[in-house]
Amino acid sequence: MPTDTTQNTGTHDPISDPLSLRELAEVLIKHYEIHDGSYDLALEFQIGVGQVGPNPELQLPGAMVSVSRIGLIQATNIGPTTVDASIVNPPKRKRKKSSD
């Protein structure tokens, strides 16, 4: 019989401060090695419909939404979460070889 009295409440503390949408876009720009253009996050959702409720007697028609994928899309309008790749991930400058 386990003697551990801790209970899992279903909540977990993040390992660090969660990223904002803008910060996540910056991470993806660096990941994909993009060096120019303006980008926004693209979120792909899945939507399911059906009977939803805590038990069969209290079920009602409902919908469930989940995020299935996250990516980048080139921005057509500059908004508060738009990221300029040339600022957050400028191309690395090539070193000039010194002549001896």
Domain boundaries, the chain: 41-88
Average pLDDT over the chain reads: 89
CA atoms within 13 A on the CB side of 49: 1
Confidence of residue 3 (pLDDT cuts 50, 70, 90): low
The CB-based long-range contact list for 87-95 (8 Å cut-off, 24+ gap) reads 88/26, 88/29, 88/30, 89/26, 89/29, 89/30, 89/33, 89/34, 89/35, 90/35, 91/35
Categorize the per-residue pLDDT at 5 as very low, low, confident or very high, splitting at 50, 70 and 90.
low
Measured distance CA(92)–CA(96) in Å, rounded: 12
Flag whether pLDDT at 2 surpasses 90: no
For residue range 37-82, list pLDDT tens digits in order.
999 999 999 999 999 999 999 999 999 999 999 999 999 999 999 9
Average pLDDT over residues 6-32: 86
For residue 41, what are the β-bridge partners? 72
Say which amino acid occupies 34. Answer: I
pLDDT of residue 14: 82
